[in-house]
With several copies, the nearest count.
Chain A
Amino acid sequence: MDENELAMLGDSVREVLQSECPHDMVLRHVDGEDLREPLWRTVKDLGWTALSAGEEYGGLGLGPDALALLYRELGTALAPVPLLPTLIASELLYRFGNAEQRSEWLGGIAAGERRVALMQMGATPLRLVRSGSSVKLYGTAEHVLELKGADLALVLARSDEGETARVMIHLQEDGVVAFEQPLVDVTRSFGKLRLDALQLPAGRVLGGPQLEHAIACHGTLAIAADSTGGADTILALTVEYLKTREQFGRLIGSFQALKHRCADHKMALVAAEAILDDAVSSTAADQEAWPDLSAAKVAASEAYAALAQDAVQLHGGIGFTWEHVCHLFLKRAKLNQSLFGSTGWHLDQIGRQLAA
């Protein structure tokens, strides 16, 4: 996509979310008025589920630049929409699936008919046993992202011989037991699957270490983009508050200590955005461009977490209340720090690369 098309996509995503997912609706979602399913219908109707699938499967075949833009806006809106694992699954199938796998799942996923949950990278894999044309899975799949309401789940499994693979579970048909594991950040959701000795056709297996790498790349990019969107928004809200709140007969935004903290946050955010933009370009050019993505995630999620933590402090008492939107940013920021590789893990990736 060229710059103009990207800008148009961005505008349209932003408009949709501003009308379908304003912050006060997210606050009501937190209080139980579900926004997840309505938003899913919206993104399905708008074809966002088809962003990363190839055109032959009804997809738009868009690259990391368009995805980063989408994820940034989702972060801005704090959107509780379970889109991320579906888009990751779509990319995986398109890049690594065989013809049957593509034709079985890709159309439905791109059309938004089938929603996919994804077991987190780095979670303890299930045990995979192959026998002829079928496989068996043993164990419990923890940390399955957006399991709630999903039709499919891509779980991580490893054979005794050390083969690592992803296996597609049909949640309704395969008779597995799903448990919800609600998160503090209710704009996202985790679950777990118990599937002791579940027998499945061998065609359910998507294999290869490149798969985990692709998941890590897509997930890392998504969380980094989500973080810059969230950080930008909570900074703007905080600056706005500082411009209107008075204490000691002055606008508190005129107190230099608070100003310098805001300046440092802004600096960190701008730095993160620069790295993310560059990582997106290099990923578009070369899907193995890994350390850039780690750097982007470290910079963005750390900037977001520090900023969101300080935003509550800068808002004072009002920021400590359930009714104010501050805590939603804080909770999403703290989750972002650990999703798709913690900061420590990503720094170690960078360090290994540097020391190599």
Chain B
Amino acid sequence: MTDTIPAPSTIEQTESPLAFKEDLGAFRLALRSWIERTVPKDWRERHCGGTAEEFARFQRWWFDQLRAARLANSHWPVEWGGEGLSLAHRIVIFEEMARAQAPSAEMFVISLYHLPATLFAHGTAAQRERFLNGVVEQGEVWAQGFSEPNAGSDLASLRTRAERKTIDGRDVYVVNGQKTWSSFGMFADWYLLLARTDLTARKQAGISYFIMDMRAPGVTVRPIRQITGESEFAEVFLDNVEIPAENLIGKENEGWSIAQSTLAAERGLIIFEAVERMAIAFEREVEMGRGTWMKDTAYLREFSALYVKMKSIRLLVRRMLKEVERDPHMGGSETATYIKLGFAVLLQAYNEFMLRVSGFDAQFEKPAIRSAGHHTANRFVDYLSSYSWTISGGSNEIMRNVVAERILGLPRG
């Protein structure tokens, strides 16, 4: 397996389907044509398995194409350099990408969702200028440094320390500690870091939110091998890493609430793409399953029940997008919580079902297609990787606590 697609050194603006955005039908056709021109027909075969570096190179290449057509950040508001696309447009994009089985820009999720959501609401003008442009103009990769080995579900008990000091006349935070479960941390240029700035405050209260350069001295990144056999996540060791004081997001010791309020909705947006891809996948399942498992009444009924659940998550995502439209700076809404919990449970149940009805074919070891989201053409890998939704970013258990306590008002345990 080789990967000979050249990574363009500079991005020239190409003809964009956005030129047709006034007419939704025309936009769809233009986008379809753009995808056909841009995405190599054989990318799935070529990116089946392969090294981490090949994956990263292809991701950068794909992101370059999206940037060149101004599609990468088209969901951002116009005032922040995006296109402020409507819900209908975004559905078109996800639908066309999913139908064409185009690559998914997995490595840029934090760059495209978490980073802007955080900076829109809490960043300084200088931070927005530097870092949003960095994504759009340089294709910078961001990762997230929240979890620690002893602060998983109980994120607020994190122990990574950031001490404010003046070194050679510069105001910096000196950071020590260990982070884990950073998606694509090994390819990241920048890091959204939560660290403790006040040791005396209780739990959430003494935590601050930083922008950290992943190339700063003292940063060591080690990939974590997952149960799928691949390494999508990384551990990050921080040894006297200096962060310039201007890279603090919001006020000192207020990082926790910033991180919490901006992230719930962003998870919903990532699920937007994931669930639209799943909806298209249901159509493919029908094509493939017609001659085999779909002939079994019981399995077809189970599949239909999964379809109902999938439909409900799609509709909840639409509801959340309307909420965001009404209030772009909303915090974590109830809807976002339902989407996270419901999608995680669905994704695992759907993949478990497909694994189960696919018989021995799904039991063979074979390379998974990379950059294909949760549809790697390898049932077992898809099933196993569903844990990245049920465990991380607030495990199912944490989400159920949130529903019970914050939404239903049941007393804390």
Contacts and interface: CB of A to CB of B under 8 A. Distances in A.
Q: In the complex, are there CB atoms of A and B closer than 8 Å?
A: yes
Interface of A: 120, 142-143, 181-186, 190, 239, 242-243, 246-249, 251, 253-260, 262-264, 266-267, 270-272, 274-275, 277-278, 295, 298-299, 309, 312-313, 316-317, 319-323, 326-327, 330-331, 334-335, 337-338, 342-344, 347-348, 350-351, 354-355
B363 A271 contact: no
6 contacts: A247-B153, A271-B338, A299-B312, A351-B300, A354-B282, A354-B286
Nearest to A335: B363
A298 B338 contact: no
Chain A interface helix/strand/loop/mixed:
helix
Contacts of A266: 403-404, 407-408
Nearest to A142: B360
Interface string B373-411: 000000010011001101110011101110111011111
B315 to A, nearest CB: 4
B413 interface: yes
B356 A337 contact: yes
B410 A262 contact: yes
Contacts of B390: 313
Contacts of B408: 239, 259, 262-263, 266
A262 B227 contact: no
A320 B411 contact: no
Given A247-B154, A344-B296, A355 B290 contact: yes
Nearest to B298: A344
Given A253-B410, A253-B411, A271-B342, 19 more contacts: A185-B363, A190-B364, A242-B410, A247-B153, A249-B154, A254-B413, A262-B410, A263-B341, A266-B407, A274-B316, A274-B319, A275-B312, A275-B315, A317-B180, A321-B224, A321-B226, A338-B363, A347-B304, A351-B300
Size bracket, chain B contacts: 35 or more
B307 A323 contact: no
A243 B410 contact: yes
A182 to B, nearest CB: 4
Contacts of A243: 409-411
Contacts of B180: 317
Interface string B350-366: 00100110011001110
B307 A350 contact: yes
Contacts of B321: none
Identify the interface centre among A120, A257, A309, A320: most chain B CB within 10 Å of its CB.
A320
A313 B411 contact: no
Contacts of A239: 408-410
B165 interface: no
B387 A312 contact: yes
Contact of B315 (A184, A277, A337): A277
A347 B227 contact: no
Given A317-B181, A321-B227, A184 B365 contact: yes
A247 B152 contact: yes
B365 A183 contact: yes
B311 interface: yes
Contacts of B363: 183-185, 190, 334-335, 338
B56 interface: no
B125 interface: no
Identify the interface centre among A259, A260, A313, A327: most chain B CB within 10 Å of its CB.
A259
B181 A259 contact: no
B400 A260 contact: yes
Contacts of A320: 226-227, 387-388, 391
Contact of B229 (A142, A312, A322): A322
Nearest to A354: B286
A351 B299 CA distance: 10
Contacts of A260: 397, 400-401, 404
Interface in B162-191: 180-181
A182 B365 contact: yes
Interface in B247-296: 282, 286, 290, 294, 296
Contacts of B401: 256, 259-260, 263
A321 B225 contact: yes
A263 B403 contact: yes
B305 interface: yes
A255 B319 CA distance: 31
Leading 9 A-B pairs by shortest Cβ distance:
A271-B312, A327-B227, A259-B404, A322-B225, A263-B403, A247-B154, A263-B400, A274-B315, A350-B304
B41 interface: no
Contacts of A342: 356, 359
A270 B338 contact: yes
B307 A354 contact: yes
A275 B364 contact: no
B21 interface: no
Contacts of B220: none
Contact of A274 (B282, B312, B388, B407): B312
Contacts of A259: 400-401, 404-405, 408, 410, 413
B364 A264 contact: no
A348 B313 CA distance: 21
Contact of A299 (B290, B308, B392): B308
Nearest to A181: B364
B34 interface: no
B301 interface: yes
A270 B313 CA distance: 10
